[in-house]
Chains A and B, each alone.
Chain A
Amino acid sequence: MLAVDVVKRLGNFALTARFQAARGVTALFGPSGAGKTTVVNMIAGLLVPDRGSIALDDTVLFEDAGRINVPPYRRRIGYVFQEGRLFPHLSVRQNLDYGRRMSGQPRDLKEIARIVDLLDIGPLLDRRPRMLSGGERQRIAIGRALMMRPRLLLLDEPLASLDATRKHEIIPYLVRLRDEAEVPMVYVSHAAAELRQIATNVVRLEAGRVTAIGGIGLLD
């Protein structure tokens, strides 16, 4: 269970967000400029809220009153960025393995095989990120985040940079991920059609405020 209750001011933009996300896929839904990425960055620890608290299960990640701010590298929250952000100097295999190596976890061959299989990325392992298509790159980015065995997976518009055909290529993998992996997800998007296929809960964000929380009915 993720509990977010934050206030953040960035220049003229003020954000107040309070919601909880349990199992399944929680959609952060709203027009661009609503503050969706800001919220996700605060959950990941890349941006520090002005006030409030963020907790994941029984771990407090941020609390201004208690002066708690766990750095990103100790949060174990997977983050799939809009642009993938694969490391250009590493092969696909090394990209996938990066999180495990950095956090010093033992290599779990069964888990690796499961994720490679889930995302169908076996044939890509020895390539360089530059040699991948946009859709392949996003699948690797998802795999890389999963390999670190995250407690929560954040996906920030993971399909936004892809054309319609590529989007349809990725969505089945995300659905599989939702149904097979136990990790809860927060999925940011402004596209209702995309979210209808993936989300289980919806948090609607508009102009820096949460305007509705509910089921996927909110997407209509």
Chain B
Amino acid sequence: MLELSPAEWTAVLLSLRIALVATTCALPFGVAIGWLLARKEFWGKILVDGIVHLPLVLPPVVTGYLLLISFGRKGPIGAFLADYFDIVFSFRWTGAALSCGIMGFPLLVRPVRLALEAIDRRLEDAAGTLGANPLLVFLTVTLPLALPGIVAGAVLCFARALGEFGATITFVSNIPGETQTISAAIYSLLQVPGGEAPAARLVLIAIVIALAALIASEWFARRAGLRFHGE
């Protein structure tokens, strides 16, 4: 029962790869935007905040469609990236990573922002008087203190990316071995007779991966908490 077929293995590994790449690529942007929203006042901040959270409230199909018309082969951004940098998103696993990253982005930004807002700014002042320039203050004080929030955000983003379905299937379709993630594979299996058993295996694996991610983040948050607050 628990023996996975090569096709199912492909879907599992592809899902992990897409979610991992999506989270890793989203992380620096998420920290930057979280920092901007937490620390800076600027014109249009509400708009930026809104756009970041848009994937959370839009129907995923809409996000997928918007990605298709902008990042598709004929879309303005997609054509530009393909012509000048040879980066192609449409119907590739990279496109799946892009849509997963965008869908997970709001879940990444929020904990990062909250963590940055919770930091005692006076510690940063203290670091400044000790000779640390603003970049060093960020790297040696701000970032380590925000780490639990950053990890929490990354885990949420990873989980969201792993489960992403609507935007991805709209943008890059459901191609086995290229863009067929666990969710898309389950969906396909349920469309054909006799697909229930393999679908159930994939469902089980999805649950195991999600649980493992949650436990890992909990463990990390606790460890970080211990480090900061002693025991």
Q: Does A73 contact B (CB under 8 A)?
A: yes
Residues of the A chain whose Cβ atoms lie less than 8 Å from the Cβ of B122:
81, 83, 85
Produce 1/0 per residue, A82-108, CB < 8 A to B: 010101110000000011001100000
Given contacts A85-B122, A89-B145, A102-B136, contact A77 B129 (CB under 8 A): yes
Provide the bound-state CA to CA distance between A144 and B134, in Å: 19
Chain A residue at smallest Cβ distance from B227: A89
Q: Which of B120, B128, B130, B230 gathers most chain A CB within 10 Å?
A: B130
A23 to chain B, nearest CB (A): 21
Give the distance in Å from the alpha carbon of A44 to the alpha carbon of B131 in the complex. 11
The answer for the CA separation of A85 and B228 in the assembled complex, in Å, is 13
A89-B227 Cα distance, complex, nearest whole Å: 6
Which residues of B108-126 are within 8 A (CB) of A? 120, 122-123, 125-126
* Interfacial chain A residues near B125, Cβ < 8 Å: 46, 72, 85
For A78, the chain B residues whose CB sits under 8 A away are 129-130
Asked if A102 contacts B129 (CB within 8 A), the reply is no
Say whether B140 faces chain A, with CB atoms less than 8 Å apart. yes
| Inter-chain CB contacts under 8 Å: number | 75
Q: Does residue A114 face the partner (Cβ distance < 8 Å to B)?
A: no
Given the known interface contacts A85-B122, A102-B140, the answer about A46 and B128 at a Cβ–Cβ threshold of 8 Å is: yes
- The answer to whether B130 and A102 touch across the interface, beta carbons within 8 angstroms, is yes
Nearest CB on B from A189, distance (A): 19
Residue of B nearest to A47 (CB): B125
Q: B129 — which chain A residues lie within 8 A by C-beta? A: 44-46, 72-73, 75, 77-79, 145
Q: Confirm or deny: B127 has a beta carbon within 8 angstroms of a beta carbon on chain A.
A: yes
Residue in A45, A87, A128 whose beta carbon sits within 8 Å of that of B141 in the complex: A87
Rounded to whole angstroms, the CA-CA distance of A99 and B127 in the bound complex is: 8
B132 is an interface residue with CB less than 8 A from chain A: yes
CA of A45 to CA of B126, assembled, Å: 11
Asked if A130 and B228 sit within 8 Å, CB to CB, the answer is yes
Report A-chain residues with C-beta under 8 Å of the C-beta of B229: 88, 130
- Whether the pair B228, A73 counts as a contact (CB closer than 8 A) is no
Mark B153-173 against chain A: 1 for CB-CB distance below 8 A, else 0. 000000000000000000000
Q: Which residues of A contact B145 (CB under 8 A)?
A: 88-89
Place the interface of chain B in its size category.
20 to 34
Q: Does A148 contact B (CB under 8 A)?
A: yes
Asked if A71 and B127 sit within 8 Å, CB to CB, the answer is: no
Q: Judge whether B5 is part of the interface by a CB distance below 8 angstroms.
A: no
Given contacts A73-B131, A98-B140, A148-B131, 17 further A-B contacts (CB under 8 A): A45-B129, A71-B128, A72-B125, A72-B128, A76-B131, A78-B130, A79-B129, A83-B122, A87-B126, A89-B145, A89-B227, A89-B228, A98-B130, A99-B130, A127-B230, A128-B227, A130-B229
Contact B228 A144 (CB under 8 A): no
B191 lies within 8 A of chain A by Cβ: no
A119 to B38, CA, bound (A): 39
B131 engages A99 (CB within 8 Å): yes
**B144 CB-CB contact with A under 8 Å:** yes
Interface pair A144/B230, CB less than 8 Å apart: no
- 9 CB contacts below 8 A, A to B, read A73-B128, A78-B129, A79-B126, A88-B123, A88-B228, A89-B145, A102-B136, A131-B230, A148-B131
Digitize B181-225: 1 where CB-to-A-CB distance is under 8 Å, 0 elsewhere.
000000000000000000000000000000000000000000000
| Chain A 106-146 interface 0/1 with B at a Cβ cutoff of 8 Å (1 = within) | 00000000000000000000011111000000000000110
Q: Which residues of B contact A79 (CB under 8 A)?
A: 126, 129
Which residues from chain B contact A87 at a C-beta distance below 8 Å? 123, 126-127, 141
> Contact between B126 and A73 (Cβ–Cβ < 8 Å)?
no
4 tightest Cβ-Cβ pairs between the two chains A and B:
A130-B230, A103-B131, A99-B130, A102-B132
- Cα distance, A148 to B129, chains bound together (Å): 10
**What is the distance, in angstroms, from A131's C-beta to the closest C-beta of chain B?**
5
Assembly CA distance A70 to B176 (angstroms): 61
Report B120 CB to chain A, min CB distance, Å: 8
Best-surrounded residue of A102, A128, A144 (most CB of chain B within 10 A): A102
Chain A proximity of B208: nearest CB distance (Å): 33
Min CB distance, B230 to chain A, in Å?
3
Query: With A and B bound together, what is the CA distance between A128 and B131 in angstroms?
Result: 22
